[in-house]
Amino acid sequence: MQREQGVVVDPDGEVTVCCGATEGLNLALMALIDPGDRVLIFEPFYENYIPNLATAGGCPVFVTLEPPAWTLHPEVLLPIFEQGLKAVIINTPANPTGKVWTMAELQLLADLCDRFGVYIITDEIYEYILYGGTHHSILKIPAMRERAIVVNGFSKTFCVTGWRLGYTIANPELTAAMRRIHDFLTICAPTPLQHAAVMAMDFGEAYFARLAADYQRKRDILFPVLERIGLSPVLPQGAYYIWTDSAVLAPESNAAAFRLAQEAKVAAVPGNCFSDPGRAAVSGLRFCFAKKDTTLQAAAENLLRLA
């Protein structure tokens, strides 16, 4: 946090190492949310947020961002804050959209959170997987030191999703609340793996640059193919997914995903997995390009036969 964002945090009082960002998110929600509390979630969202919030008894309130720019509209946000919120969840760089929140967008949200006394949970797990832009942590905004819980982890940065290593950063009061839950939930993340992660954090600039360059190459194998077959993909600025439309395949995303699996042997996640479960028909597909180049090339050949 200090090296990348220039934000000094106290490792003893403000950092909690846990079993993946998944545990971190659950700790944040269990510590903050009482049954019935309203939590703002931007749609399309990372699908875990809904079951995680349900476990804590919270109620999601959705704001839909539209492709291709995924722009934030302040006039939509204000009434939602006025109606009462306990927290907001954001994810930057984002799964499934690839959106990287700008400092201006973070500031807009931070101002609203400050004004209405709302907490903000930011999931920053793809911080190093960027294609040109800059990752800003919400903790760069001084007022957010009181109101933000940052959730992060090693799964994506060091390609070790199975290790289950993550962490939260929050002020000492919020950290104490989360640690109380963490202690009874998992006690600790595996110690040997924590030692390995400490070494990995010092891999140096070249490692992080190569990580992003490798994913950019993979993105650039898949993206033009999705364009060619008429799916109108949105070029991701970060993370390792491409969001597309699905209307040319089928009127609804589940049917589109089934068609792709059957006809091209390519599995994409249907857009409805990332949307308000109350919405009827959703368009959209999410393609993951965190695959071997040879796998992506084979997928490209199959997809192009659909063109």
**Residue ranges that bind ligand PLP, judged by CB under 6 A:** 20-22, 46, 91, 95, 123, 125, 153, 155, 161, 166
What's the CA gap between 305 and 35, in Å, rounded?
50
- Rounded to the nearest 10 degrees, what angle do helices 172-185 and 20-32 cross at? 120
Min CB(195)–ligand PLP separation in Å: 18
Cβ atoms within 10 Å of 171's Cβ, excluding its own: 17
Among candidate residues 90, 209, 177, 189, the one with its CA nearest the CA of residue 139: 90
Number of H helices and number of E strands within the chain? 11, 10
Min CB(102)–ligand PLP separation in Å: 18
- Cis amide linkage into residue 192, ω under 30° from 0: no
Nearer of residues 54 and 304 to ligand PLP, judged by Cβ: 54
Backbone phi and psi for residue 54, each to the nearest 5 degrees, phi listed first: -60, -40
Nearer of residues 50 and 249 to ligand PLP, judged by Cβ: 50
Backbone phi and psi for residue 186, each to the nearest 5 degrees, phi listed first: -130, -5
Min CB(298)–ligand PLP separation in Å: 23
Nearer of residues 120 and 229 to ligand PLP, judged by Cβ: 120
The strand pair at 38-43 and 59-64 is best described as parallel
Among candidate residues 154, 194, 188, the one with its CA nearest the CA of residue 20: 154
- Cis amide linkage into residue 68, ω under 30° from 0: yes
Q: 83 near 59, Cβ under 8 Å? A: no
Min CB(39)–ligand PLP separation in Å: 16
| Residue whose CB is nearest to ligand PLP in the complex, by number | 20
Min CB(301)–ligand PLP separation in Å: 27
Min CB(7)–ligand PLP separation in Å: 20
What's the CA gap between 165 and 182, in Å, rounded?
13
What's the CA gap between 30 and 230, in Å, rounded?
43
Min CB(273)–ligand PLP separation in Å: 12
Question: Would you call 59 helix, strand, or coil by DSSP?
Answer: strand
Nearer of residues 86 and 156 to ligand PLP, judged by Cβ: 156
Nearer of residues 95 and 272 to ligand PLP, judged by Cβ: 95
Contacts of 105 (CB under 8 A, 6+ apart): 72
Nearer of residues 46 and 223 to ligand PLP, judged by Cβ: 46
Nearer of residues 21 and 110 to ligand PLP, judged by Cβ: 21
Min CB(153)–ligand PLP separation in Å: 3
Nearer of residues 46 and 81 to ligand PLP, judged by Cβ: 46
